[in-house]
Chain A
Amino acid sequence: MTAQALRGVAAVVGVGESAYTRGGTDGVTDVSVALDASTAALADAGLTPGDVDGLVPPYMGATAEELIANLGLTGVRFCAQVNLGGASPVAALGYAASAVAAGLARTVLVPVGWAGYSGRRARALSAAEPTTSYRKAVRGLYAPNGVHSPSQVYAQVARRHQHEFGTPAEALGRVAVNTRAHAVATPNAIMRKPMALADHLASRWIVEPYRLLDCCMDSDAGAAVVVTAADDPRHTGRARAVLDGWADARPSEPLDMYNRADFFETGLTTAAPAAWAMAGVGPSDMDFAQIYDCFTFEVLQQLEEAGFCGRGESGDFVLSGHTDPGGRLPINTHGGLLSQAHALGMNHVVEAVRQLRHEAGPRQVDGARLGVVTGWGDLGDGSIAVLRREGR
């Protein structure tokens, strides 16, 4: 069987989110936000916990056992975890779809939850047990040279890109400004104060070339989706988001961000062509893109590696207006990790599904029929899923 044979076999039929907050609520944990999102996603799908027979638990936070116990999932027979850092949620869609296609499960719940504001923050994670290659690299190789957080690790790549290709600060700023404009139109986004380019350029340095407004936020957020067969007879007749192509990959030197033969290679460099081939469509067919936006430059880098533009061309691509609200490729129409919340990128999947159902209200991309979601994790792991609207 080829990957193409799996095109269109599965669909996202339910999406859910926890409240997106930054403090002010007691008892918010990684587990609680994952549970809230799961319950919402099952309700959205018109299904119950008893229907769930497949589970892809998140790579950090709630365990499979906690999800099973707290949600009352009595029938789980397929359960597999994906460990690609922030690229895990989008990759998990493909694993869920594969399980459905193989007949290993009929209803797969894919939740994430991170109390990244009230609980452990991103900059503290590299000091946690070095259980991942990212943490091992930071602890063993980068931290002794003053590089502790993702912002510091990735800033070296951003700076080199600026040096080689002349990518201006205004291009990074344009990503931040566009994303905020979308957040203003998204009721559950945390950051909804309008932002101008001047605000971005005046925000304080975190680690050059990243300013405060180049960085995603610490938040408490959970998001979840439900995957079934695309032709599952339980569907209510509502439009759904069919998975036409997906792939995930690690870069060719997976242990160290800085020693790849091609310095800008990421997992997406190989995953994206595979996903496009599987889906039978390409970047120019997309009505929108939800791109993992841990920092503004990573959006530019992924636009290049996913094939929306050539290597080194992403600055011109966004400055030309293509990715502005209402442009030919709106990006992160919900406000992303930069301005909506840091639900580990599963909020990007939720938004893609809402766009394809035409339920996105004032930020709806007119007639959206095809969209893409990417994930970015750890030392540049990549994932991508191409989704298509099906149904009335």
Chain B
Amino acid sequence: MNQVRLQHCPACRRWYAMARDRCGCGTPLVVAPVSGRGTVFSATVTHQAMTEEYAARVPYQTVLVELAEGPRVLALVDGPPLPLGAEVSVVDSAPAGADVPSTALLVERSRR
């Protein structure tokens, strides 16, 4: 597990969840770690898997987390569903030490 890393604009200080080529202000973006702390802004529970990969996993919750730094990111929840408003911490589920940040995020259950 790694810290979540997102694109960040050093000029206007915006964070971006969805990768892009440059900030809307025209500045090249850098990738930087975020705290991972945030609150559950929205959430859904999928009952019908849309891919074979997820067939064994249903039902599962995907939460939309509003990070302390501002941007909202999706994250999978392992275990019982979380209510909206819950304070959570999310991590990058890529193997520890991975060079490239992934967008597959997990809610850390232990640190509530």
Contacts and interface: CB of A to CB of B under 8 A. Distances in A.
Interface string B30-42: 0000000000011
A263 B72 CA distance: 10
Residue from A127, A146, A152, A206 having most chain B Cβ neighbours under 10 A? A146
A160 B47 contact: no
Interface string A252-279: 0001101100010000000000000000
A328 interface: no
A142 B74 contact: yes
A47 interface: no
A236 interface: no
A125 to B, nearest CB: 11
Contacts of A142: 74
Q: Which bucket holds chain A's interface residue count?
A: 20 to 34
A146 to B, nearest CB: 5
A209 B104 CA distance: 23
Contact of B102 (A144, A206, A207): A144
B27 interface: no
Given A146-B57, A160-B42, A163-B84, A140 B48 contact: no
A156 B51 contact: no
B43 A206 contact: no
Contact of A258 (B43, B47, B51, B72): B72
Contact of B42 (A146, A149, A151, A159): A159
Contacts of B48: 204-207
Interface string B68-85: 000111111000000010
B2 interface: no
Interface string A106-148: 0000000000000000010001000000000100111111111
Nearest to A163: B84
Interface in B60-109: 60, 62, 64, 71-76, 84, 102-105
B45 A207 contact: yes
A145 B74 contact: yes
Contacts of B73: 258
A161 B59 CA distance: 22
A147 B62 CA distance: 8
Contact of B18 (A140, A156, A205, A207): A140
Contact of A152 (B19, B46, B57, B104): B46
A137 B43 contact: no
B17 interface: yes
A141 B103 contact: yes
Contacts of A155: 44
Given A144-B102, A144-B103, A159-B43, A149 B50 contact: yes
Given A144-B104, A146-B57, A207 B46 contact: yes
Given A160-B41, A255-B18, A258-B17, A145 B46 contact: no
A19 interface: no
A157 interface: yes
B20 interface: yes
Contacts of B76: 145-146
Contacts of A207: 44-48
B105 to A, nearest CB: 6
Interface of B: 16-20, 41-48, 50-51, 54, 57, 59-60, 62, 64, 71-76, 84, 102-105
6 cross-chain pairs, A with B, having the tightest CB-CB distances, nearest first = A144-B104, A256-B18, A145-B74, A160-B42, A205-B47, A148-B50
Given A144-B102, A146-B46, A204-B47, 7 more contacts: A140-B19, A145-B104, A146-B57, A146-B60, A205-B47, A207-B45, A255-B20
26 contacts: A140-B103, A141-B17, A144-B102, A144-B104, A144-B105, A145-B75, A145-B104, A145-B105, A146-B57, A147-B44, A147-B62, A147-B74, A149-B50, A156-B43, A156-B44, A156-B64, A157-B42, A160-B42, A163-B84, A205-B48, A207-B45, A207-B48, A258-B73, A258-B74, A259-B18, A259-B72
